[in-house]
Each structure stands twice: as C-alpha cells, then as structure tokens.
Amino acid sequence: MRYLPHTDEEIAAMLQKAGAMDLDDLFSGIPEDCRRGRDLDLPEPFTEWELNQHMAVLSGKMAVSPEYKIFLGAGSYEHYIPEVIKQLLARSEFYTAYTPYQPEISQGTLQAIYEYQTLTTRLLGLDVANASLYDGASGLAEALLMAIRITGRKKVAVAGSIHPFYRKVVQTYLAPTGCEIVEIPYLANGKTDLTRLPDLADLAGIAVQSPNFFGCIEDLDLIGREIHSDPKTLFVVTFTEPLAYGILKNPGSLGADIACGEGQSFGIPQSFGGPGLGMFAAKKRFMRNMPGRLVGKTKDENGNRGFVLTLATREQHIRREKATSNICSNQGLCATAAAMYMAALGRTGLRELARLNHDKAEYLKNQLQQAGFTIPFDTPTFNEFVVKFPAGFETTHKKLLAKKIVAGLDLSLYYPELIDHYLLSVTETSSKEDMDALIKEIQA
C-alpha cells in the first residue's frame, strides 16, 4: 500500500476545522519539556525504487532458507506449510475478518476459532481451550497467574529447563503481583530435578516444559504424580514444539491441569520471530478462571446453530480491574492457520510428520556421536538436542556461518555453565545431504 500524503491545502483545511493555527498547536497539551525540540535525525528520503533496492540489500544479509542450511530451533521451527493453508488464509473472509464481539456479523470468525479450540483440546488432551493468546511465553505467564487465582497461594515454581525467554516473561508478569518465583534446577541428564522441589503446600503451581529447552523429553507422568501429592498445587506443562505431541503422550493424559505453549510450528511462518500463537488448554473445572476469549456453540431462538463468545464476564473486555486477565484479544489469523494445519494433516499426518522429525534428528545425533562429539544429556529427545563440541567451537561456528550453515545455538548465552554446548534442531526441511554436509564441515 503506497503512502499518499495530504496536500498543504488539505492540511490547512483540517487545522481550520480543528481550530488550530498550525500543527504544533495540536500538541499544545503536552508540556514543553516533554517535547522533542529538534528534528529527527533521519536519512534523506528514498524513491520507491531506491527503497526496494535498500530492502533487498538488507534481506541479503539475513541467514534464511533455502540458501542457508539452518539447524537452529530453540522455540522457532522451520516447517513446510501446505499450499492449501497459504491459499485459504489469504481469502478476505479470514484475512479481514471482523472482531468476534458481535456474533450476528462474525459467525465465520467465531466458527473458525471454535474449530481451533476443538483441535487444540484433542492435541493437548484437555477439556477446554481458549481462542489463543499472544505467544507461548504469554501463555505460560497467564497459566501461572491462573494457578495463583485458583489456589490463592503466592508462590510458583518453574523448571530451569524451560525456555529462558519464557522464564523472563513470567518474571515480568509476576513482578507487580509480589508473588515469589522459585527455579528448579536440571539434572546431569537434562531433565528436571524432582528432588529439588520446594514445599508443595506453599505452591500455586509448578511449570515444566516437555520437550524442554534442551530437547529432552520430561517424565510428565512422574512429575504430575509428585505434584498432585498436594491436591491443591496445579501442574502446568508448557512447550515450544507442539508437533512433538504427534508421537508423544499429550499433557492431559499425563496429569497436566493446564497446558500452554507456542503454536508457530502449525502453519505459521517464522517471520524473524513473530507473530506467534499462544496455545492454551485446561481442565474443565478451571474453565471460569481461564484468560482470554472462549468461543462456544449454541442455538438461536429458531433452533439454528450459532457461535458466541461465552463463559467470560463482560468485565473481561471493558473493566480491566475486575477481569480474569488483561488479555482480551487473541491471535485470530494465526489460530485460524493452526486450525487449518491440524485439520489438513489430521491425526495420521501429524503422527507421520512427527516421526519424520524425530527420525531425522536421531540420524544427525548418531552421526555426530560417531564423529566423536559428545551428547551430554542421555535422555530421549524429539527434534532437537544438545551437542558438546571441543573447546573453542565458537570460531568453527562462525566459519560455518560464512559457508551458509547455521550450526545451532550457543547455550552458554543462557546457561553459563554450558560452555561449548550447542542446541541443534532438525525438522522435515533438513535433508540427509544437508546433515552430512554439516558433519563434514565440522570435522574439516
């Protein structure tokens, strides 16, 4: 969309209508010392063609597929997106859909969200799902706030193997509440150390990620039984790769009270970090305490099927001080994409794709081991895992980047004790030839 500026005559007419002498008069209500007293330091304007060229040069500096071979996951994963999703999502009925506050003119939008909720509950094995949240991190923070509301307790515990960014968002959310956050360390095998759980009687909820940030699959059944030895403490399971539940038992079947995480893998491009999709589901008895929107199916006075926002007071949207949560919007278009993705693949397709991701990651892991590199965490993984490279691998990592190979994430950035440990990810987009080339270059 091109920018069409107003003419001087049009600006003068609008100022006259507003009763202002000039543009500065429009800001007269702002104190002088709060205003910028000089022009912005901006470069000279580009023509449309110069701007296109400038953006092309910038994009050429980005390490993106297919030119680059990327083995980087850590919460954002490259997956093939079926063409049917791209085509359907571009339809104006979805792309410009009206907000679902008024059901009489937004039945299509409401039904799309309802179908998303249904598929999400099936994937996560819980009774009810909301219309989505902003991303996986906000989902986890909202889940812990929900646990605090339900239990009345002012303390939560989070596993240290949860994505570092998620833990930072939790800290930001909970800081104004005065609630205490306890971090549970991880074991030498990469899983959560259950022996370090604090007193359950003090905890509103305990959050664990599986597969966790290291790619390790947690024993959710064991953790859930341990947590539920106190019937009041809630068990929260978070995730960054929902595709894992194509072959792993879902959180609900393993005792989770709330499951939440990132849904970007389901038909949503990585887009340099966003937008994402916060998937959120819970047991039925906690439904009234769920954050955000919830779409339900009903009948009108003539017996016709209809969809409405339900089970949330009006305060959720207009009186923030009385709301369950300050989140009152959802990622509508991303949720629709995820619903299309889950429906297009179906149960069998998700299982086959998850198996492909797992098997490819196992191939690379085994090849790296045979090449003499250490896999420090002796725990089953899904589609990403940790490798310990020889000291000074940072130099090799930079050389590989120059050869257009992104060899994982340096974990010492987030875990100082894990020097020369790298997190590598493999999805269906990685070919055997790409993985063999990675191993060859590392050994060179």
pLDDT for the residue numbered 323: 72
pLDDT for the residue numbered 321: 67
Measured from the Cβ of residue 226, the count of other Cβ atoms closer than 10 Å reads 18
Domain 83-341 fold? Aspartate Aminotransferase; domain 2 (3.40.640)
Is 223:192 a contact under the CB 8 Å cutoff?
yes
- Using a 10 angstrom Cβ sphere, with 0-12 exposed, 13-18 middle and 19 or more buried, the burial of residue 82 is middle
Q: What are the tokens at 151?
A: 């239990």
pLDDT for the residue numbered 80: 96
Domain spans in the chain, listed from the N-terminal domain onward: 69-82+347-443, 83-341
pLDDT for the residue numbered 318: 62
Is 207:156 a contact under the CB 8 Å cutoff?
yes
Output the tens digit of pLDDT for each of the chain's 444 residues: 456 688 889 999 999 999 999 988 998 889 988 988 888 898 898 999 999 999 989 888 887 777 889 999 999 999 999 999 999 998 888 887 767 777 888 899 999 999 999 999 999 999 999 999 999 999 999 999 999 999 999 999 999 999 999 999 999 999 999 999 999 999 999 999 989 888 899 999 999 999 999 999 999 999 999 999 999 999 999 999 999 999 999 999 999 999 999 999 999 999 988 899 999 999 999 998 999 889 999 998 899 999 998 876 555 556 666 677 778 778 999 999 999 999 999 999 999 999 999 999 999 999 999 999 999 999 999 999 999 999 989 999 999 999 999 999 999 999 999 999 999 999 999 999 999 999 999 987
pLDDT for the residue numbered 327: 81
Q: Tell me which amino acid residue 11 is.
A: I
Q: pTM of the predicted model, to two decimals?
A: 0.88
How distant, in Å, are the alpha carbons of 74, 194, 332, 356, 427 from that of 432? 21, 38, 36, 12, 11
Enter the CATH code of domain 69-82+347-443: 3.90.1150.10
pLDDT for the residue numbered 317: 58
Domain 69-82+347-443 and domain 83-341 have a common topology:
no
User: Distance (Å, rounded) from C-alpha 177 to C-alpha 170?
Assistant: 11
pLDDT for the residue numbered 1: 43
- 278-282/295-299 β-pairing: unpaired
pLDDT for the residue numbered 39: 86
